[in-house]
Amino acid sequence: MNPSRRDVLKASATMATGLVTGMGLADTTMPNQTRFKLKYAPHFGMFENHAGKDPFDQLKFAADQGFHAWEDNGMMGNSPDMQEKLGQKMRDLKIEMGVFVADAEWGKPVYALGGEETRANLKKKAQDAVACAQRVGAKYMTVVPGPYDLRLAWDYQTANVIDCLKTMADVFQDAYCVMVLEPLNPYRDHPGMFLSKIPQAYQICKAVNSPACKILFDMYHQQITEGNIIPNIDLAWSEVAYFQAGDNPGRQEPLTGEMNYRNIFKHISNKSQDVIIGMEHGKSQGGKEGEVKLINAYRWCDDF
């Protein structure tokens, strides 16, 4: 006898529930706390429902869950004393500090227009970023080269950006630091920015020709801009120093969108387990349950 439509729907629902539970997404208990294979880097506020608002408690909670990296875009906004204390706490917990933002220009085509005064200002920003990096024990810092200019030919702008980055790279290289350039998607979040694609960032890093100028491969942005994540990882690998994750659409934790992060993380792991993957995304669910869901998602994706 052929099954009724109701029987088919019931069976499908049961199968879906089993799949979700198998991936840990329906489980609200705290997951296995063993050390993650890869260096996934949470940020402040991600676990404050469990750990509270104190940043040192948040670091301790993350370490207890098996995370061994961290990132904080706004680290330079802390006092030097606070930077020192956070750096020491991370060292005590064996957490590696990932990126903070050294310079992100959003309003004016500063890099694209270049010039001597601009390069002098950027050199000072690089020096300030190095001082912060030394306090917190960081190696990598994000640089966003800002908008493009509507009145200047693209190739002139590219040359100006390269000159600006060479000035900054000299400062970072002397301090054994690395600025990572982040291409941003122009369609959903950041229209009008000069740097938008991985091949473009690769070309610029090759032109700057410094170990202190590499790529921050934000996979959320690039899924929107160009897709082709794994092939672009391979093609740009020599110039990639850092990753950031976030599913699309929504920019939430893995398993909430269209991206197969288990396969992506496995591919990265096969190339290197030393690279940091910043968790620069939100949570699809609030409260403690949302934090457990997030950790379970990374556990499932890290199980390769």
What is the per-residue pLDDT across 102-111, written as a single tens digit (0 to 9) for each?
A: 999 999 999 9
pLDDT band at 116 (very low <50, low <70, confident <90, very high): very high
Length of the chain: 304
Residue 127 lies in a domain: yes
pLDDT digits (tens, 9 = 90+) for 157-204: 999 999 999 999 999 999 999 999 999 999 999 999 999 999 999 999
In a domain, 105, yes or no: yes
Does the residue 15 lie in any domain? no
Looking at the structure of the chain, the number of domains it has is 1
Taking residue 11's Cβ as centre, other Cβ atoms within 10 Å add up to 11
Tell me, yes or no, whether 18 lies in a domain.
Answer: no
On whether residue 4 sits in a domain, the answer given is no
Give a yes or no: residue 10 inside a domain.
no
Number of separate helices (H) and strands (E) present in the chain: 12, 9
In-domain check, residue 11 = no
Report the 10 Å Cβ neighbour count for 27.
Answer: 16
> What CATH number does residue 102 fall under?
3.20.20.150
Residue 279 lies in a domain: yes
Q: Is the pLDDT of residue 279 over 90?
A: yes
Orientation of helix 116-136 relative to helix 80-93, angle to 10°: 50
Domain range for 264 is 36-301
40 forms bridges with which residues in the sheet?
A: 277
pTM assigned to the model? 0.91
